[in-house]
Chains A and B, each alone.
Chain A
């Protein structure tokens, strides 16, 4: 086993900073209320002005009057930690997030895929820089050693037990993860490095520092193995960004939107899934949020693509009030099938099946927007066809309604006189001037038994503008023509 530890020394601060585009403005996080409010983190610009964690907020305000003070939100930090665990899940199936501001992942199993620890580490760091988190990474054969080494030596990688003892031996006692009181008493005993502790006889050392500290030392050396709770990725994505200001302009929404989609994409990549349908809610001061539902042809997770789609939708959407928060919810996350092409496949990448396309058409145009046609054995033109819905037994939608018709067509039935390609569902008076009658009359007389009695003489007609029409008159009469179809 090889464990990587990623620690996030400024998790709370990074979480706040990455949601804002104004990184250069001094910003501090504080805890507590009123005069007891204390600064718990300060960004680089604030540190430059002498602001430090541990100062009272009043002192910080005195040092820099225009400092942006934000209350520390423990729940938000937890959510952020969850998100990072989801991100780490794409590099390892064993991710532990029980330790605060820290992720532990088993990486040996992933070496083959990512090409060894240096490559994997570089990838982890690239991702974290892109996501906007300050981080320290170390690797060791056991999780507790990795945890301690990440705190002490960023970038340290220990391959085996022998090197582990050397690396641990040089660590100062106060950095070894022992509790502060214990570390101090060891310091007073003149024990500065872990090497000195390891050299001492167990029984005597145990008497002095207690069972908990002994257990910790054993865990560091890998002598005791404790089970870790592993992270399980959730099946839905629901993340919210509160904007630092209310805005009505689309432009200023793009930055937080891009951030949100990048997180979404990282989450999707982590569970090797894609999103086909998700909802963006733009929250207003009061009233219900404006929601934009986005449906895609196929599951996608590319952040740039998602951003382009959302942006296009946002440009068309109308926000009825200034926006104070953004929320992205995705409930159904289908498996992601990467766009892949056969060498000899001529169908393009974004190809979908007819079923998927029909779903899409139905979603926008209505339940029965796409349908087939079938021949119906009836002489009356209005009844000679049927709308062919989806045939559930075959599921293809291209149903077999014409088998019968085709068989009859070829089985020696008397062929009908020519029929027009276009049919008017309801006949209308023929307005065009008739120049010639090309064929007819053809008497169609039928339906006395079902109440739709029909007696008509049909003609093929050429109009003044050389159109060929199929028109009729009531049988035996000489009146005006009624248009029934076009020989298009």
Chain B
């Protein structure tokens, strides 16, 4: 049964009561292999996406840059709430991001979550990136609700250790380094694929 229905669902010919909005409300990730496996065909708009990475410098921003580059052509700013390092303008411009759209909010640990929630809820931002270190389920839920009410894309970059923690995010993607690949831990509106998306396809 699943084998018959799945192609119909994927091509959008079969209408499902749940999660139908997803297909329209997604932002292509810029990586064809990843877009194919995500239910909406990209990062869900108006929701939180979580990226889990084991250490700095394993491609966590490379994964986001194409989407951010698309968003930076719009009128609304992309807000980085308390980034761990300084974005190097040369690399971001090389990635296609218009720096005029980039805004950095400096905040402490606790205030950062507040700021992220405000930005998500306000609907004034194209995307909000945050790096919560200590976030409990209630906080994640607040952020997810804020993203929904503000209809803003939220990216949450967190260490791999929290993969076991329950999360309200619509999409959870874990970056693995050996071999380099992306494992989709959760995607609302579909079952996460069992196979990891390899990095080689991402690079292409």
Contacts and interface: CB of A to CB of B under 8 A. Distances in A.
Nearest to A360: B118
Contact of A465 (B55, B90, B91, B107): B55
Given A365-B105, A398-B101, A419-B94, A350 B88 contact: no
Interface string A75-106: 00000000000000000000000000000000
Given A381-B88, A421-B65, A402 B105 contact: no
B159 interface: no
Contacts of B54: 465
Nearest to A405: B93
Contact of B177 (A360, A401, A465): A465
B122 A352 contact: yes
B136 to A, nearest CB: 17
A466 B176 CA distance: 9
B95 interface: yes
B118 A373 contact: no
Interface stretch (B79-87, B166-174, B188-196): B79-87
B183 interface: no
Given A422-B85, A466-B58, A351 B124 contact: yes
A353 B56 CA distance: 33
Contacts of B102: 372-373
A323 interface: no
Interface in A453-488: 463, 465-469, 485-488
Interface residues of B, number: 52
B60 interface: yes
Contacts of A352: 122-124
B103 A385 contact: no
Given A373-B87, A422-B85, A467-B56, A356 B103 contact: no
A420 B149 contact: no
A374 interface: yes
B98 interface: yes
A397 interface: yes
Among B54, B56, B85, B88, residue most surrounded by chain A Cβ atoms (within 10 Å): B88
B106 interface: yes
Contacts of B98: 402
Q: For the side of the interface on A, what is the size category?
A: 35 or more
Contacts of B60: 488
Contacts of A353: 124
A297 B121 CA distance: 10
A488 B59 contact: yes
A123 B154 CA distance: 45
Contact of B61 (A354, A375, A422): A422
A319 to B, nearest CB: 22
B104 A372 contact: yes
Contact of A425 (B59, B61, B86): B86
Contacts of B119: 357, 361
Nearest to A382: B86
A421 B118 contact: no
B86 A365 contact: no
A402 B100 contact: yes
A418 B91 contact: yes
Interface string B35-77: 0000000000000000000111111111001000000000011
B114 interface: yes
B174 to A, nearest CB: 14
Contacts of A18: none
B92 A421 contact: yes
Contacts of B87: 373, 421-423
B162 interface: no
B91 A419 contact: yes
A469 B57 CA distance: 7
B132 interface: no
Interface in A345-398: 346-348, 350-354, 356-358, 360-361, 364-366, 368-376, 381, 384-385, 397-398
Nearest to A409: B93
B124 A357 contact: yes
A316 interface: no
A48 interface: no
Contact of A486 (B65, B85, B103, B123): B85
A259 B9 CA distance: 55
Nearest to A384: B90
A132 to B, nearest CB: 35
Nearest to B151: A348
Interface string B112-149: 00110011011111000000000000000000000001
A202 interface: no
A488 B121 contact: no
A418 B85 CA distance: 18
Nearest to B107: A365
B28 interface: no
A376 B86 CA distance: 14
Nearest to B199: A466
B88 A485 contact: yes
Contacts of A420: 57, 88, 91
Contacts of B124: 351-354, 356-357
Interface in A277-302: 297
Contacts of A239: none
Contacts of B84: 422
Given A364-B111, A399-B100, A419-B91, 8 more contacts: A354-B125, A357-B125, A373-B89, A400-B100, A405-B93, A422-B88, A487-B59, A488-B59
11 contacts: A352-B124, A353-B124, A365-B115, A373-B87, A375-B90, A397-B103, A402-B98, A420-B57, A466-B177, A485-B88, A488-B60
